[in-house]
Amino acid sequence: MKPRHKRLILLAGALAALGIATMLVLSAFRKNLVFFFTPTQVLAGEAPRGQSLRIGGLVENGTLQRQPDGVTVRFVVTDLAHKVTVNYRGILPDLFKEGKGVVAQGRLNADHVFVADQVLAKHDENYMPPEAAEALRKGALAANESKGKP
């Protein structure tokens, strides 16, 4: 075999290894992508089933229910237009409160209940997660449009 052929085979092997490595990295990246959806988008069916996603908005007042086991909670997230029920098993962040902004990460089940495996609360009284703030803004606009207000 000529040295030129050996170099071509080595170059082809290196390109194949680079392609496989790129494919594996992109596959891992895709599995870890988590998209944000508003309750309106979730109820419209835009959120994928069986895939991890985030929903955000406000925790509706009076909806926080703690189960007897002490670690399971149920609450409603609203974007002021629509509501999604969230089940979460774990310790809630210290700043988690009704009427405050929240982002929950998890999956939708068949009953349209969001089963969260992580709940994120706001940092301080002035902070709202950008995704949640945008969801609330859009929800308020949608609610006003449905009521006929400009």
Measured at the CA of 36, the angle between CA 50 and CA 60, to 5 degrees, comes to 100
**Residue 112, annotated as binding a ligand:** no
Is residue 45 within 8 Å of 82, Cβ to Cβ? no
Q: Would the annotation count 88 as a binding residue?
A: no
Please tell me the distance from the alpha carbon of residue 76 to that of residue 57, in angstroms, as a whole number: 9
Q: Which residues fall in the annotated binding site?
A: 123, 127
Q: Which residues fall in the annotated binding site for heme?
A: 123, 127
